[in-house]
């Protein structure tokens, strides 16, 4: 596997180096009390001779130029050195992993994938299993002795490089006349237990699907990264870079490395014009929750999901009471598993909105959006007569009203209602026309408590499923309590119905419409003992029922996370 995250990080830090040069030049110029002229002042020969002439005089007379004090140059260079060392070490570490395929066992596999249950790899966490089981047939494992040695050496090297990068990047240099540039390296570790990693139905024997009598596993994830913020006059540049490594105790075939890279430019032109230009990329294991079955191939070669997003938006206060907004975005999703290539998609969208804004900041407006989805790989379906390839490409149009209103001093309402029309290039019987909407009410009775209620009927932005349109209907409650300056508590309750209204298999008459009902409850505890350390713990209970055979599951997840910022 070629690890490309280090290359992206190095490119961004090189850009920071150039920005540091620009900031240093502006700061040097601002230190002079009088104006700087690059040519001789004509009116007064005894006055300011100009910066260029002063430099020439110093060179001719051999006077050394004053040494500039370290600034953003040193900060960016230190980040470049530290991040480059980390990236090179990760590539070396990955090259020394030796995969070994264990011999088959006597455990039978289900041949018909349609009889298998649904499952998900939870991002939030897992539950300690019943002990290690014999490895399933043909499941890719790592050589135990070499793997332990490599992990130990790699872990020590990661810690060494992270500490070195932290020491290099820790000095925050404050720019004269503006806010300081902030570079914050961090490391973190997460321990997760999940009692149903693959989200298998209660009616399926897991031994016939995953080669283990237990659905549970415990895995740990380590991560390091960098948060950066650089103000430059009215502009602000922000980046969040995270690289992670996840290792499972039982299902080691799911071991993976990933990253989450985000960068944006919050631009501003005067008081009336502002917006954001950004890019992001995530690379992670695909969720098992949206799959209706788990097969041996998914254990041997789990699907790695790469999602890239780019966006630009701008807001213009045309008058003190009228606001105009325009935006454009692109999403690219790519799957590593050959069996999931039909889920590759590129979605391009543009939108515009016009709002009336009151003196109190409340607004009501009209918005419209045009979206185009392209699937480079057609989806294959086998009918009694032939095999059919279906292109899921579509065009979607939406227009509606928006509302952002402070009802009282302690309550705030955000609402949206749209008329949506989606048209498919193939199988037009899948076309969808309907109303969508979302209402979010935030209630803050005290400065320490917040309650958010959400009701929605909306189209899921994108699904890792056969269907490219999933209609979501449901509600959610979120509560937050700022107990002390160091302790926070929060809880979520959600109930959602997911209707797969544009499944190609349904349009071909192969299946009926699939409807899932998902219920989840979660709690989060956050502890901030000192400025550089954060500790979090979470519990999750989730269930799903479905009108499709083996589409149900129940899962309990718990995780503990510790984070240290340099």
Give 242-292 pLDDT, tens digit per residue. 999 999 999 999 999 999 999 999 999 999 999 999 999 999 998 888 776
Nearest C-alpha neighbor of 292 from the set 466, 473, 139? 466
Higher pLDDT: 175 or 474? It is: 474
**Measured between alpha carbons, how far is 431 from 506 in angstroms, rounded to an integer?**
12
Q: Are 237 and 265 in contact (CB under 8 A)?
A: yes
Query: What rounded mean pLDDT belongs to the chain?
Result: 78
Q: Are 310 and 346 in contact (CB under 8 A)?
A: no
pLDDT at position 89 over 70: no
Cα separations (Å) of 418 from 399, 400, 403, 439? 5, 4, 12, 12
Token digits of residue 239: 């980046």
Place of tokens 């990933």: 258
Q: Are 456 and 475 in contact (CB under 8 A)?
A: yes
* Confidence label for 105 from pLDDT (cuts 50, 70 and 90): very low
Q: Are 486 and 448 in contact (CB under 8 A)?
A: no
Determine how many CB atoms are found less than 10 A away from the CB of residue 461.
10
Nearest C-alpha neighbor of 195 from the set 210, 216, 176? 216
Cα separations (Å) of 110 from 115, 295, 296, 383, 551? 8, 8, 9, 22, 16
Which tens digit of pLDDT belongs to each residue from 491-539? 999 999 999 988 888 888 888 889 999 999 999 999 999 999 999 999 9
Listed ranges 43-57, 296-310, 400-414; the one with the highest mean pLDDT: 400-414
* Confidence label for 84 from pLDDT (cuts 50, 70 and 90): low
Contacts of 414 (CB under 8 A, 6+ apart): 403, 404, 405, 439, 440, 442
Nearest C-alpha neighbor of 201 from the set 565, 550, 510, 556? 550
Cα separations (Å) of 93 from 97, 113, 153, 459, 523? 7, 36, 9, 42, 36
Residues of the chain with pLDDT > 70: what percent? Answer: 66
* Confidence label for 467 from pLDDT (cuts 50, 70 and 90): low
* Confidence label for 296 from pLDDT (cuts 50, 70 and 90): low
pLDDT of residue 382: 84
pLDDT at position 77 over 60: no
Cα separations (Å) of 321 from 71, 267, 359, 416, 558? 42, 22, 8, 20, 48
Contacts of 152 (CB under 8 A, 6+ apart): none
Which phi and psi (to 5°) does residue 528 adopt? -125, 80
Which tens digit of pLDDT belongs to each residue from 155-178? 444 444 444 444 444 444 444 456
Higher pLDDT: 180 or 434? It is: 434
């Amino acid at each position: 596997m070629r690890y490309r995250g280090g290359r992206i990080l190095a490119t961004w830090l090189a850009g920071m180096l150039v920005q540091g040069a620009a900031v240093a030049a502006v700061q040097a110029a601002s230190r002079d009390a009088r104006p700087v002229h690059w040519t001789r002042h004509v009116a007064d020969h005894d006055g300011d001779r100009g910066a260029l002439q002063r430099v020439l005089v110093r060179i001719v007379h051999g006077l050394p130029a004053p040494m500039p004090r370290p600034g953003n140059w040193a900060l960016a260079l230190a980040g470049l050195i530290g991040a480059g060392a980390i990236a090179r070490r990760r590539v070396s570490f990955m090259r020394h992993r030796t995969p070994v395929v264990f011999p088959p066992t006597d455990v039978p596999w289900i041949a018909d994938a349609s009889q298998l249950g649904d499952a998900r790899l939870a991002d939030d966490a897992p539950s300690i299993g019943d002990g290690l089981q014999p490895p399933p047939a043909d499941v890719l494992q790592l050589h135990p002795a070499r793997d332990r040695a490599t992990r130990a050496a790699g872990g020590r090297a990661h810690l060494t490089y992270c500490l070195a990068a932290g020491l290099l990047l820790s000095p925050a240099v404050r720019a004269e006349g503006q806010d300081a540039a902030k570079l914050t390296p961090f490391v973190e570790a997460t321990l997760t237990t999940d009692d149903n990693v693959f989200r298998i139905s209660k009616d399926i024997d897991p031994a016939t699907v995953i080669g283990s009598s237990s659905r549970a596993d415990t895995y740990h994830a380590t991560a390091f990264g960098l948060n950066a913020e650089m103000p430059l006059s009215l502009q602000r540049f922000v980046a969040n870079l995270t690289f992670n490594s996840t290792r499972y105790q039982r299902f080691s075939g799911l071991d993976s490395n990933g990253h989450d890279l985000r960068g944006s430019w919050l631009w501003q032109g005067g008081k009336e014009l502002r917006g954001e230009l950004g890019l992001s990329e995530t690379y992670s294991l695909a969720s098992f929750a949206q799959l209706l079955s788990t097969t041996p191939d998914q254990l041997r070669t789990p699907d790695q999901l790469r999602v890239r997003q780019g966006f630009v938006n701008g807001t213009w206060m045309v008058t003190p009471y009228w606001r105009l907004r325009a935006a454009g975005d692109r999403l690219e999703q790519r799957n590593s598993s050959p069996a999931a290539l039909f889920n590759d998609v590129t979605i391009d969208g543009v939108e515009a909105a016009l709002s009336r804004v009151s003196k109190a900041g409340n607004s009501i407006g009209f918005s419209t959006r045009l979206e185009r989805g392209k699937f480079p790989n057609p989806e294959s379906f086998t009918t009694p007569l032939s095999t059919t390839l279906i292109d899921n490409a579509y065009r979607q149009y939406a227009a509606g009203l928006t509302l952002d209103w402070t009802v009282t001093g302690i309550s705030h309402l955000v609402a949206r209602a749209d008329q949506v029309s989606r048209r498919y290039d193939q199988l037009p019987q899948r076309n969808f026309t309907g109303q969508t909407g979302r209402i979010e009410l935030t209630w803050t009775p005290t400065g320490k408590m917040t309650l958010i209620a959400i009701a929605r009927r909306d189209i899921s932005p994108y699904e890792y499923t056969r269907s490219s349109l999933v209609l979501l209907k449901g509600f959610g409650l979120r509560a937050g309590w700022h107990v002390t300056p160091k302790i926070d508590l929060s809880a979520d309750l959600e109930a959602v119905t997911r209707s797969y209204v544009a499944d190609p298999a349904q349009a071909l008459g192969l299946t009926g419409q699939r409807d899932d009902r998902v219920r989840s409850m979660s709690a989060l505890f956050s502890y901030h003992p000192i400025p550089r350390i954060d500790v979090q713990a979470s519990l999750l209970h989730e269930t799903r029922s479905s009108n499709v055979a083996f589409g149900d599951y129940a899962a309990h997840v718990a995780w503990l996370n510790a984070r240290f910022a340099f």
